[in-house]
Chains A and B, each alone.
Chain A
């Protein structure tokens, strides 16, 4: 007995594993059995740890009793009686910390069951999708297109907004721009100012840490390296600080010193490849024009997203050394971009307030305070929000960017609306499922979770497809927009942020409404089968469909008007003839200025001898270009008259004839009038601004332009020097027979390529050191409409997408409404309705919706397009026609879309629809 007792104590003491000797009672087994009662209890009140502790207690007690001489089985029974089994124990625990356990229990249960339910929800969602393949396709594809379009636009917008943001100090760098005023009126707003501005500001204002001046070699120059020569645009003459203030990636060379010496240059990397191939460009020598030598000291990149684009950076000190101190201290010569970097936290307003005194101090003229206004323009604002003359590169259009953002939002909205529409319309089909779920104990919140999860699920699939679509459509979009958006999206964190953002908002928003509607059904009604109409949310669904039609009508009308304006601008008579005109860029390099005159006339003679060359004219500017040569002008002996900016074009004797300018009074330039170098020919607009009266009266008047006194010998009709966005400018034609920026060659349409070969040949003979660069005038002029054309194309592209997505939704919706009215149609047919009657009945609703949508869309689009058209000096008026067409087209699309379903419903045999009753 004693041995048995000892064994039992050992068994209790050292836990499991020991065998008991007594054949009658195995203590260890008894404890395990007792314990199992807890393990199988489904309560969350007791955890393993608690049971563990109870077991330990039980063992203590048994050991204690055995030590007092009680037999193991009695000890166990007594101890168990004291400790209690699962049931008594749980109720004790429940008493004491019911509240806390209740909380823990519900949390654990929620997580546990939620996980099980998630699986169930996904399964049900998948089954529903499979059951209704068409519905699934419409929903997912619509969402995918919406997401893809939005991402594409976001990508574009991000690109546009990224201009110049890569400079580390972008938020502290400003361009000093210059506004010229005369008698309180602004004459022009210029991107450029005087060369003295930068250095003087740094000297005067401690806030200005650094300055950079940039002088754009306007019109480009011929650059040569050994035998290679190219005409290069975008040559910038820059201060050495250019490399330290801006963060253009410098691939080779030293930022501090690369441009500090005269005759040094930094070359853009692609340009370097063009000149030097694979050779190291450092130390190579180039010649600009005939007399400027530069040594390459660095290689740099010129990123696309900067308002400055360059092929060469030439050291600024070269200008000063070669052409004089004017490039350092001229005041009033506004051909220089001045950028300054301010100390952190500088008060911009306070700094600008000091500028008037600054102007007076440096001009030495008290009146200059009113005439010369400097303003600071944030570096990052230049690309999108600048509207200045003398800009180095065509700027972006902030408005177009926001227009696109609105469109992106609309497309996405339409896709989401589709989802909401289709999900609620399908409520009838799923009512039974919901009823069963509710009867089985589903709470409303669980059903809401189910439907939101379902929309998340659909959105996941849609987002996946959207990425595919994005990749597929990127090249097309790039072609339409003229942008170079990269396909390298997947490594872009912002792209993912946008995708996830769109995804979350979309999944949640589009899931929320159906979730609430569907979860609100009363199971009793639904399961009794009385629930047949999805009347709930009908008004909302109609509202959403109207919203889609509004977008469709608006986008169609908008696209049409954009194209109308484009066609109008292209078709408008320019007042001059630019057809069949070949423009040859004049020679940048000539051996001897004094010989040029003869050289050119021989060249001209050679060209004219060709049967297909009708005329050759030389000028400093050609139509389609902004005129850079400007001077102040006023009527002579009218000292009171304010000086007005005059755009000047130097032309030779044949220019006006060649372009078909219409002479309103006086004469053209001719060789027999030897005093014509003191003559001027003005356009109508110039007469207006100079107050010279009618054209015949103006002839013989004398005007002061710049430093010259000129006699008006002729007046030409107003013509479009630039695209129709711009109003007529006042233009003065000055006789410059030796002008050699452009040669305009009128050619016959026959065998143009042969004519071109002839011109090129002759050009090489007369101007051997110059590359032959030419283009056709009409194409050149047309490039001014590139932005509008691209805007139209992009607008149209997305309009199409929006309509596509809207149609998908409409198609889905109509199929459900038709299904809902099956019985009604059956009864109507039995009572004698004809098929056309029923078609009309079913289509009438959509007719009404399109009507309402048009009524909403027209004023909105009218207003928006009016804003857009306001940017054009010459523009079309808005007529009702595009709106009528848009409404009719939308209606037709809607009818065709729904016709598939309505025709099917109308043709159906009423017996099929009614026999279930």
Chain B
């Protein structure tokens, strides 16, 4: 399990990236996706996810719509806004900067990215 600080810091770039990849996604789907991507190392709970989603929504980074899926379930889907896409570019470059430093320190074969 990762420390809370790291989870908190990485939530935004991860969520923006997932939404950028998937086009649109609902909360449960996002959690499952991260779970799979991290091989179970990153476990988000509903309590972590939804408040952040809502804040991103009020910050106008993402947009939410209720829709009934093919399975008949009501789901709230999130998509990126233009502002969200721009934010992702910024986040990405910042994380790459951090990554670059770590790579130089540890050597390329040990780098995270």
Contacts and interface: CB of A to CB of B under 8 A. Distances in A.
A88 B72 contact: no
Contacts of B72: 13-14
Interface stretch (A93-101, A253-261, A713-721): A93-101
A61 B76 CA distance: 15
B100 interface: no
Contact of A56 (B32, B47, B76): B76
Given A83-B45, A96-B55, A100-B58, A50 B50 contact: yes
Interface string B41-65: 0000111101110110010000000
B104 interface: no
B51 A96 contact: yes
Interface in A49-95: 50, 52-54, 56-61, 63-64, 82-84, 88-89, 92-93, 95
A56 B75 contact: yes
The dominant DSSP class at the A interface is helix
A95 B51 CA distance: 8
Nearest to B46: A83
B28 interface: yes
A324 interface: no
A15 interface: yes
A50 B51 CA distance: 9
Central interface residue in A54, A59, A92, A100, by most chain B CB within 10 Å? A92
A97 B45 contact: no
A53 B45 contact: no
Contacts of A59: 73
A56 B73 contact: yes
Contact of A50 (B29, B54, B74): B54
Contact of A96 (B32, B54, B75): B54
A97 B45 CA distance: 17
B46 A89 contact: yes
Contact of B74 (A15, A58, A88): A15
A92 B51 contact: yes
A95 B52 CA distance: 10
B27 interface: yes
Contacts of A82: 45-46
Q: What bracket does the count of chain A residues touching chain B fall in?
A: 20 to 34
Nearest to A88: B47
Contact of B48 (A52, A56, A92): A92
The dominant DSSP class at the B interface is helix
B71 interface: yes
B47 A57 contact: no
B54 A13 contact: no
A92 B47 contact: yes
Contacts of B71: 13
A253 to B, nearest CB: 67
Interface string B62-95: 0000000001111110000000000000000000
Interface string A34-57: 000000000000000010111011
A82 B28 CA distance: 12
A829 B79 CA distance: 86
A13 B73 CA distance: 6
B51 A97 contact: yes
Contacts of B73: 13, 15, 56, 59-60, 63
Contacts of B76: 52-53, 56
Contacts of A88: 47
Contacts of B51: 92-93, 95-97
Given A96-B52, A96-B55, A60 B47 contact: no
Contacts of B55: 96-97, 100
Interface in A533-585: none
Given A82-B45, A97-B58, A56 B50 contact: no
A55 to B, nearest CB: 9
A15 B69 CA distance: 13
B58 A57 contact: no
Nearest to A95: B51
A41 to B, nearest CB: 14
A96 B59 CA distance: 13
B47 A53 contact: no
Interface in B1-57: 26-29, 32, 45-48, 50-52, 54-55
A101 to B, nearest CB: 9
Given A56-B75, A59-B73, A60-B73, A97 B54 contact: yes
A88 B55 CA distance: 18
B9 to A, nearest CB: 14
A91 B10 CA distance: 20
B36 to A, nearest CB: 13
A342 to B, nearest CB: 56
Nearest to B47: A92
Given A60-B29, A83-B46, 19 more contacts: A14-B72, A15-B74, A52-B74, A52-B76, A56-B26, A56-B28, A56-B75, A57-B28, A57-B46, A57-B50, A82-B45, A83-B45, A84-B47, A88-B47, A89-B46, A92-B50, A93-B51, A95-B51, A97-B54
Interface of A: 13-15, 50, 52-54, 56-61, 63-64, 82-84, 88-89, 92-93, 95-97, 100
30 contacts: A13-B73, A15-B73, A15-B74, A52-B76, A53-B50, A53-B76, A56-B26, A56-B73, A56-B74, A56-B75, A56-B76, A57-B46, A58-B46, A60-B26, A63-B73, A64-B32, A82-B45, A82-B46, A83-B45, A84-B45, A84-B47, A89-B46, A92-B47, A93-B50, A95-B51, A96-B51, A96-B52, A96-B55, A97-B54, A100-B58
10 pairs of A and B residues whose beta carbons are closest in the complex: A96-B51, A92-B47, A60-B28, A83-B46, A93-B51, A97-B55, A53-B76, A57-B28, A84-B47, A57-B27
